Amino acid sequence: MPEAIEGIFEKYQRRSDQLIPILQDVQKEFGYIAPESVRHISRYLRISENQIFGVSSFYAQFRFTTPGRHSIKVCLGTACHVKGGATLLEMLERELGIRCGETTPDKRFDLERVACLGCCALSPVVQIDADIYSRMTVNKLSELLKQYE
Amino acid sequence: MTKKIIHITINNKKLDAHPGQTILQAAREHGIYIPSLCAMEHLASYGACRLCVVEVDGLRGFPTSCTTPVEEGMVIRTDTMEVRGLRQEVLKLLLSEHPASCLFCGEKEECKQYMGTIRKVGVITGCRYCPNDLRCELQQIAENIGLTETSYPVYYKNFPVEKYDPFYDRDYNLCILCGRCVRVCSNVRLNGTLSFKQRGRLTTIGPAFDRSHIEAGCEFCGACVTACPTGALSTKVSKWYGRPDTQIGSTCNYCAMGCKLLLQTTKTEVIDALPDYSSPVEHGIICVKGRFGITEYVHSPLRYGVPREMTPIGYNDISWEEAIEKAASKLTGLKPDECLFVVSPQLLNEDLFAAQKFIRQIKGSEEIASSFIFDLDDDAISYINLISDSEPIETIEKAQGVIAIGFDSTYGYSAIGVNVKKAVQSGACLLCINSFESNLDMLSEASFVMDTSKWADMLDLIIGFMSKDKIEKRLAGSVKTFGKDIDSACKVFLRSPDNVLIVGPGVIEAQNRDRVLGGIERLKNEFSWRIVVACPYTNLKGMLAMGAYPCFKPGDTIRQHEADKTVELRGENAHIDLKKKRKLIYLIGDTSFDILPDCDYLIYQNALPVKSSRAPDLILPVSLFTESSGTIINIEGRVLQVKEAVAPYMDSKPDWWILKRIAEKIGRPGMKFNNVGSIQGEIKKIIKGFPAVKRRVEFKRIALKGTVKKHGQGMPAAWKSSYRGVLLGDVVSGIKVIESKRMFSVQERATRAPLIEWRAI
Amino acid sequence: MNKLKKKISEAKRKWEKIEDNKEPIIYVGAASCGRAAGALELIDETDRFIQENNVSARLIQVGCIGPCYLEPLVDIKMPGQPRVSYSNVNIGLLSKILKSHLIEGTPFSKAAIGNFSNDTFMDIPPFFELPMLKPQMRIVLRNCGLIDPEDIDHYLAKDGYQGLMNALQTSPEDVIGVVRQSGIRGRGGAGFPTFKKWTVCRNTPGEQKYLICNADEGDPGAFMNRSLIESDAHAVLEGMMIAGYAIGASKGIIYIRAEYPLAIERLKKAINQMKEYGLLGKNILGSRFSFDVSIKEGAGAFVCGEETALIASIEGKRGAPRSRPPFPAISGLFGCPTIINNVETLGTLPNILRNGADWYSRIGKEGNRGTKTFSLVGKIRRTGLIEVQLGTTLREIIFDIGGGVQKPFKAIQTGGPSGGCLSEEFLDLAVDYESLASAGSIMGSGGLIIMDEDTCVVDVAKYFLDFTQKESCGKCIPCRVGTRHMVEILDRITHGEGVPEDLLTLRTLGDTIKKGALCGLGQTAPNPVLTTLRYFRNEYLEHIRDGRCRAIVCKDLIEYRVIKEKCTGCQSCVRVCPTGAISGPRSEPHNLDVTKCIKCRSCYEICRFEAIAGDAIIIRTAEKRS
């Protein structure tokens, strides 16, 4: 069992209600939830892998494929929507050639939508990695992508 | 003491209900119809389908009757216009996720009659194409609600039909996400193979990562198939039979658990076997063998229909007259050691009683062989003493310490497995010792996957930890290093007032078996561990009770009263000589061809052939347990009824009938049985109240004097299930698949180091 | 208790030093909204400036004071002067401000928006007299933007934990009585009288009870809870303790969405400080009350804002709601009696316990006591976080506080995906639970989105239904299947493929879902559609009958055109067009081929913002194609 996972388990008791915090830590550590990780969690918490998968696939936070190098999150809260957030998403889907929720084949970008980043006065908002960009336009966004390898 | 009554009103009628009931349960008790799809007996209420909505005075909106408990004075309306309208709309929405074109087609009546070729197509677009047609709960509800059309577009999910797992197919295009399968798998079977995945309209049901069911740990118990209200889950073997004609309650004969089966039959065939959740033995927790392994065995095309005789140019079909004549002539005038009789411990009590009478009369000695004796050899008596003390399955749940040795309940002994799981959920500490990964490992404190040669040492190590003087520890040479892993578990065992040891079939093929059985005995006698044996020999207790065993006459081993504790056996008398050549060998439900000595004439009384280098000279076809009436005694000592569900196949006969006719022909008296009832009348003399016995049959301990000479020929294959000597895997296709998966695990694990998991925190 | 009293007097002395500061203090609004606007860069720049210029000044990061449209906000308090607030500060402006005010001692009035005294200071008006702030009554938000949220002493200095101390001097039943008398209703959306649930829980026997703070704030466009936690976490924590004491809970859990990392950090810091001061653990302040707080992060499911789904999530299961009965107050988390209260409800409690039920019951109106925070966003001049008395009219909020709209007003959306769009005939509607419900909407958690003529209500309805569909847990049929049908119908309508029957179908579906769904998410999901159908029927009919989207939003019903007279042929748009729909040689008016145009806005934006012409491309209703 990889040390990293053992380290995570040490913080939690062997009770099934600890599942979601454990999954969150595992995803923070590895970037995604791998079948191996599910197996270890299954033995630790004594619940079947299928049940663990069933719980984790319910929540939007957890992903089961390796993440891309950069994560693009388009805010689609109401304020951003009325200021054209959907058009930004369409443009990204078109340029990157993937649908929302997918990763580009070269693993460069993940594309996601988020419900609200909380900067409604500056809509529409796009977050790339840890950087938040406000008052975005289609052209500005297109240029911005070039900065992320 | 009378139960409290709660007074409610449903549709202006005053009715009585009980505390703890839901409105739905109360309504159903009084015959008031409320449709529902996701509610099911034995499952906690779910409230997802919204069809069971009702109006309740004082509650807002339309509460679901399956989740609302009754209260004193409640006023309920189940049939107002609004309620009906809402139900129709909900059903319409449901049908937009489920292909149901036939429901509203003008020609559906004609189609029902002249089904033509529209069944068995690849894609199901309507009821007439569906294996569940005329058995489907969704169909019934649409009819009862009176839905005549649906206005919403249908979303066809276009999932491929999942056919590559054994026993049942899955067509999730028909799934309505009622959740019954998930709930029964998780909460009743405690298995957790099925789970809801994702959410919203993308919700699906299945194992993790789109694995196959066999990879995901499915036990193929069929509980989900039984629960499914639509045709999404359907049994492969009986998919297209339609509605069964009758249902007969009987007992499974595949192992000593003795689970109740509700056999579904058409006029001539057993097409399905369903669990009975009210059965006191296993409470409906049955395994794949009983659930799906019956039809293909009892209706195998390889079954013998008429007696056959070997001739220089092959087999000849002969009549029963001729067959019995032949057998009788061959048996007349033989000396005791010139013939050998072998019975199967899976025969019914009545057949075993007849068999032992036959053998003792015709042969005149105590040399009654059985596959049990072949397998267990000189450990047979030790094993018998264990099963005598085997405790009721229900009691496992209360244990606080559990050891499972040589046990895996994935494909058998489900009720024991589920009870162990329940015990662990309540906080019990579990240790597992096996030669491959078992389904209980996940719940264990520590699990040891190790070669069987080490098991005896392992038990000694545990005993060492449990004893006060710790001298024992030095005996556990090869496994000393595991001391730290069992330390905390043993501390729990010492504190616990109730420990149970599950003796699995793996023990039968263990090396150093005598030491393993000895260790188990010590835990039982010195440390007060209760024993539950998962015994593959269906009617072993019956075999002992009926006296179909060397040196034990009928009733010799049964405890008639409290003080009746032991019975003696001189070891040298119980030996079966497998070296000496015989003139005649008679196999009754046995197929041990490979270890039997040479003989001049071989009589084979069974239902199916086996591959072997020896061809029997005379084949006598028997009718199987689905075609006979009788009883067995299960591992707990319960006398369980086996009922005839269909007529015997062609000209096959029950074992007792064949033996009686031969005995008559030879001219021996005493086998005057005309029917099963008269045999049971004789058995009544040794078991009070037989066959309707309320109490468990208790057995004496066998005190062995001297030793039983080893015959050394046995090749027990405890993990390959068989019935009457025929491997289920050879006859039931799915069983072969799952057993080869297990064998694969065995081979793989043989090379791996034992797995030790996390210590208790 | 005495130890705490000592700490309080120390804290008050510390606060004095701020009120009466001897060295300059610089405040930067650095909650999430400030950070998104660039506050962190300003902090770095300020640090650099102070170092370079060898000034001694103290920098305090404060939370959100409300008017987000003015962010980033940087305030300077010189010794002997009131605190002066500068708005929309960027790096360039910052150096000017620092030079003028910090070094030279004179406020840079051009960029100053307000001062924190009660009078005008050097032509700078009092901050709380500004038109956006004046009509507000800031009770829950009283500390936000004024204190350092990471210093418990600031909270103590402003009478923090006084409410708790008062509560502990009385019995739990008395506390419930105070809450009942105050008239406060649950601020999470349902508006259920808070004391009622508490009473049921109090009266249910049980060794272990739980108090859960619902900080899942899933409504897109709502950030009131987040701002409160980031700016004044202790208010919420004190409220949790008061509630826990009242119901007899010994464990408090904050269920907060993982998308709020700063809020989570602030909570963790606050909890540690509480432990140091003896405010958590056994026998708090010498009483018999023991309480511990832990944090559970949500994992990205809007439905987990619903009580039973939230409980399922904490139990490690899928976040699917379950039927009630049994009610969480009787059998909730792990089967124990549980109370779930919203962040704002809890944040209000310290004020009630400190100032008394009488005081609170005189605010607001009959049956709707107290204040409510709202996030005011959308097509309005002054966006931000506000707090007003219940009973204030929409008109006051939009036009007095919000500064009105630039383009003609169309609708106001309240209550998020569970609420509805109200047209201008409702501008004089009082904001209270009953009035909003009777208009077909709900109060919700407090999101208010203003829409003008550039917003298509059909598109907005589709947007909300789409959101609900994606967040539906999928357990019950009406929500899982019904909302899907509704989204598809709306989709067709926005693509110009609607038929008149669709309106009736939408109403029938809405009705079925409202009556049949298992939980609040499903039961309120049709509200955006049903209200827009009621109040904006004509827009639907225009889409269906005329194929026209009057707000020029629905892509299939609009087209882009080049105005030849204005086009200078600068080729800026040609460069960015992804399909080559726009073309033309340099210095000649360009052509736009509508059959290739995918309406991505690239040309429109570049012409507006960067090209020479500035308005040569327009978007308008598509000509009807036969």
Which burial class, exposed, middle or buried, applies to B471 when counting CB atoms under 10 A from its CB (0-12, 13-18, 19+)? exposed
Distance between CA atoms of B613 and B707, rounded to whole angstroms?
A: 33
Distance between CA atoms of C397 and C404, rounded to whole angstroms?
A: 9
Distance between CA atoms of B128 and B118, rounded to whole angstroms?
A: 7
Please tell me whether residue B307 adopts helix, strand or coil conformation.
Answer: coil
Q: Are residues B20 and B69 in contact, defined by beta-carbon separation less than 8 angstroms?
A: yes
Distance between CA atoms of B117 and B130, rounded to whole angstroms?
A: 12
Same domain, C573 and C485: no
C287 at the A interface (CB within 8 A)? no
Number of structural domains (chain C) is 5
CA C300 to chain CA centroid, Å, is 18
Q: Which residue has the higher pLDDT, C328 or C613?
A: C328
Q: Which residue has the higher pLDDT, C268 or B755?
A: C268
**pLDDT-based confidence at B340, cuts 50/70/90?**
very high
Distance between CA atoms of B302 and B606, rounded to whole angstroms?
A: 12
User: CA nearest C511 in B: which residue?
Assistant: B86
Per-residue pLDDT tens for C438-448? Answer: 999 999 999 89
Q: Is the pLDDT of residue B752 over 60?
A: no
Instruction: Write down the CATH number for the domain with range B391-534.
Output: 3.40.228.10
Q: Is the pLDDT of residue B761 over 70?
A: no
Nearest CB among A42, A53, A54 relative to B442 is that of A42
Pick from C317, C334, C361: which residue ends a domain? C361
Distance between CA atoms of B381 and B703, rounded to whole angstroms?
A: 9
pLDDT at C605: 82
Which residues 26-45 of A are in CB contact (within 8 Å) with B?
35, 38, 42-44
Query: What six digits make up the tokens of A112?
Result: 């996601």
Decide if A14 and B193 are in contact by the 8 Å CB cutoff: no
Decide if A50 and B217 are in contact by the 8 Å CB cutoff: yes
Q: Which domain holds residue C468?
A: 457-546
**pLDDT-based confidence at C126, cuts 50/70/90?**
very high
Q: A94: which chain C residues are within 8 Å (Cβ-Cβ)?
A: 578, 598, 600
User: What CATH number is associated with residue C99?
Assistant: 3.40.30.10
Q: Name the helix (H) or strand (E) containing B220.
A: none
A58 at the B interface (CB within 8 A)? yes
**pLDDT-based confidence at B129, cuts 50/70/90?**
confident
Query: What six digits make up the tokens of B296?
Result: 């293909």
- Residue B390 DSSP class: B
* Dihedrals phi, psi of C210, to nearest 5 degrees: -125, 145
C261 at the A interface (CB within 8 A)? no
pLDDT at B3: 73
**pLDDT-based confidence at B233, cuts 50/70/90?**
very high
Decide if A58 and C319 are in contact by the 8 Å CB cutoff: yes
Query: Edge-to-edge strands of the sheet including B6-10?
Result: B13-17, B6-10, B75-77, B55-56
Q: Is the pLDDT of residue B759 over 50?
A: no
Angle between helix C224-247 and C172-182 (nearest 10): 140
**B541-567 mean pLDDT:** 92
User: CA nearest C468 in B: which residue?
Assistant: B200
Q: Provide the mean pLDDT of chain B.
A: 91
Decide if A120 and C301 are in contact by the 8 Å CB cutoff: no
Specify the residue for token string 């489900």: B414
CA A143 to chain CA centroid, Å, is 23
Q: Provide the mean pLDDT of chain C.
A: 92
Angle between helix A49-56 and A19-30 (nearest 10): 80
Among B261, B289, B246, which Cα is nearest to B640's?
Answer: B261
Among B661, B614, B80, which Cα is nearest to B327's?
Answer: B661
Q: Is the pLDDT of residue B388 over 90?
A: yes
Q: Is the pLDDT of residue B750 over 50?
A: no
Same domain, C199 and C168: yes
- The DSSP secondary structure of B686-704, one letter per residue, reads TSTTTTS--SPPPBPEEEE
Per-residue pLDDT tens for B500-526? Answer: 999 999 999 999 999 999 999 999 999
Residue C403 maps to a domain: yes
Distance between CA atoms of B593 and B589, rounded to whole angstroms?
A: 12
Q: Is the pLDDT of residue B142 over 80?
A: yes
Check whether the bond before B536 is cis (ω within 30° of 0): no
Decide if B64 and C323 are in contact by the 8 Å CB cutoff: yes
User: CA nearest C488 in B: which residue?
Assistant: B153
Decide if C301 and A60 are in contact by the 8 Å CB cutoff: yes
Q: What angle do CA B388, B389, B390 make, to 5 degrees?
A: 95
**C40-51 mean pLDDT:** 93
Same domain, C322 and C441: no
Q: A114: which chain C residues are within 8 Å (Cβ-Cβ)?
A: 259
Q: Name the helix (H) or strand (E) containing C43.
A: helix C39-52
Q: For chain B, what percent of residues have pLDDT higher than 90?
A: 73
Among B44, B42, B23, which Cα is nearest to B34's?
Answer: B23
Same domain, C316 and C177: yes
Same domain, C279 and C201: yes
Q: How many helices (H) and strands (E) does chain B have?
A: 21, 29
Q: Are residues C87 and C115 in contact, defined by beta-carbon separation less than 8 angstroms?
A: no
Q: Is the pLDDT of residue B754 over 50?
A: no
Distance between CA atoms of B578 and B431, rounded to whole angstroms?
A: 39
Q: Is the pLDDT of residue C209 over 60?
A: yes
Q: Is the pLDDT of residue B757 over 50?
A: no
Q: Chains B, C: CB contacts under 8 A, how many? A: 87
Same domain, C339 and C384: no
Please tell me whether residue A90 adopts helix, strand or coil conformation.
Answer: helix
Spell B244-262 as b/e; 16+ CB within 10 A means b.
Answer: beeebebbbbbbbbbbbbb
pLDDT at A114: 83
User: CA nearest B94 in C: which residue?
Assistant: C477
Q: How many helices (H) and strands (E) does chain A have?
A: 7, 4
**pLDDT-based confidence at B106, cuts 50/70/90?**
confident
A8 at the C interface (CB within 8 A)? no
- Residue B753 DSSP class: P
Q: Which residues contact C472 (CB under 8 A, 6 or more apart)?
A: B199, B200, B201, C303, C479, C480, C483, C521, C522, C525
pLDDT at B637: 95
A7 at the B interface (CB within 8 A)? no
Please tell me whether residue B169 adopts helix, strand or coil conformation.
Answer: strand
**C525-537 mean pLDDT:** 95
Q: Are residues B199 and C321 in contact, defined by beta-carbon separation less than 8 angstroms?
A: no
B121 at the A interface (CB within 8 A)? no
Q: A52: which chain B residues are within 8 Å (Cβ-Cβ)?
A: 208
Q: Which residue has the higher pLDDT, C400 or C1?
A: C400
Among B539, B548, B544, B570, which Cα is nearest to B557's?
Answer: B544
A17 at the B interface (CB within 8 A)? no
B177-230+247-299+727-732+744-761 topology per CATH: Alpha-Beta Plaits (3.30.70)
**B612-620 mean pLDDT:** 93
Which burial class, exposed, middle or buried, applies to B3 when counting CB atoms under 10 A from its CB (0-12, 13-18, 19+)? exposed
Query: What six digits make up the tokens of C288?
Result: 């018999």
Radius of gyration of chain B (CA): 29
Per-residue pLDDT tens for C163-174? Answer: 999 999 999 999
Among B727, B742, B738, B739, which Cα is nearest to B166's?
Answer: B738
pLDDT at C391: 94
Specify the residue for token string 């797995």: B755
Distance in Å, alpha carbon of B221 to nearest chain A alpha carbon? 17
Q: Which residue has the higher pLDDT, B117 or B465?
A: B465
Neighbours of chain B (3+ CB pairs under 8 A): A, C
Straight-line distance from the first to the last Cα atom of chain C, in angstroms, rounded to the nearest whole number: 81
Same domain, C258 and C341: yes
Answer yes or no: CATH 3.10.20.740 is held by domain B6-79: yes
**C107-111 mean pLDDT:** 90
Q: Which residues contact B164 (CB under 8 A, 6 or more apart)?
A: B212
Residue C31 maps to a domain: yes
Beta bridge partners, B629, equal: none
Residue C2 maps to a domain: no
Residue C399 maps to a domain: yes
B266 at the A interface (CB within 8 A)? no
Same domain, C269 and C178: yes
**B373-400 mean pLDDT:** 94
Query: What six digits make up the tokens of B136?
Result: 């489907």
pLDDT at A1: 67
Instruction: Output the CA torsion sign for C159, C163, C165, C169.
Output: positive
Check whether the bond before B160 is cis (ω within 30° of 0): no
Nearest CB among C384, C449, C576 relative to A78 is that of C449
Nearest CB among B192, B208, B757 relative to A38 is that of B208
Q: For chain C, what percent of residues have pLDDT higher than 70?
A: 99
**pLDDT-based confidence at B745, cuts 50/70/90?**
low
Query: What six digits make up the tokens of C106?
Result: 């004179």
Give whole-number Cα distances, C77 to A111, A122, C83, C85, C87, in Å: 44, 28, 4, 9, 15
Same domain, C286 and C352: yes
Decide if A119 and C32 are in contact by the 8 Å CB cutoff: yes
CATH of B308-383+540-709, one of 3.50.50.60, 3.30.390.10, 3.30.2290.10, 3.40.50.740: 3.40.50.740
User: CA nearest A127 in C: which residue?
Assistant: C36
Q: Is the pLDDT of residue B110 over 80?
A: yes
Same domain, C213 and C307: yes
Residue C366 maps to a domain: no
Q: B208: which chain A residues are within 8 Å (Cβ-Cβ)?
A: 35, 38, 49-50, 52-54
Distance between CA atoms of C212 and C225, rounded to whole angstroms?
A: 14
Pick from C525, C546, C567: which residue ends a domain? C546
Q: Specify the range with the lowest mean pLDDT, choosing from B102-116, C5-19, C294-308.
A: B102-116
Neighbours of chain A (3+ CB pairs under 8 A): B, C
Distance between CA atoms of B572 and B367, rounded to whole angstroms?
A: 11
Q: What angle do CA B529, B532, B534 make, to 5 degrees?
A: 145
Q: What angle do CA C144, C147, C151 make, to 5 degrees?
A: 120
Positions of E strands within C163-219: 210-215
* Complex ipTM more than 0.85, yes or no: yes
Q: Which residues contact B464 (CB under 8 A, 6 or more apart)?
A: B470, B471, B472, B473, B474, B475, B476
Which residues 44-83 of A are in CB contact (within 8 Å) with C?
54-55, 58-62, 76-79, 81-82
Q: Are residues B107 and B215 in contact, defined by beta-carbon separation less than 8 angstroms?
A: no
**pLDDT-based confidence at B476, cuts 50/70/90?**
low
Same domain, C234 and C355: yes
Distance in Å, alpha carbon of C85 to nearest chain A alpha carbon? 19
**B638-649 mean pLDDT:** 96
Residues of chain A with pLDDT under 50: none
A100 at the C interface (CB within 8 A)? no
Q: For chain B, what percent of residues have pLDDT higher than 70?
A: 95
Q: What is the domain partition of chain B in residue ranges? A: 6-79, 177-230+247-299+727-732+744-761, 308-383+540-709, 391-534
Q: Are residues A37 and A30 in contact, defined by beta-carbon separation less than 8 angstroms?
A: yes
Distance between CA atoms of B479 and B143, rounded to whole angstroms?
A: 66
Same domain, C423 and C492: no
A16 at the C interface (CB within 8 A)? yes
Instruction: Please tell me the pTM assigned to this model.
Output: 0.93
B69 at the C interface (CB within 8 A)? yes
Residue C148 maps to a domain: no
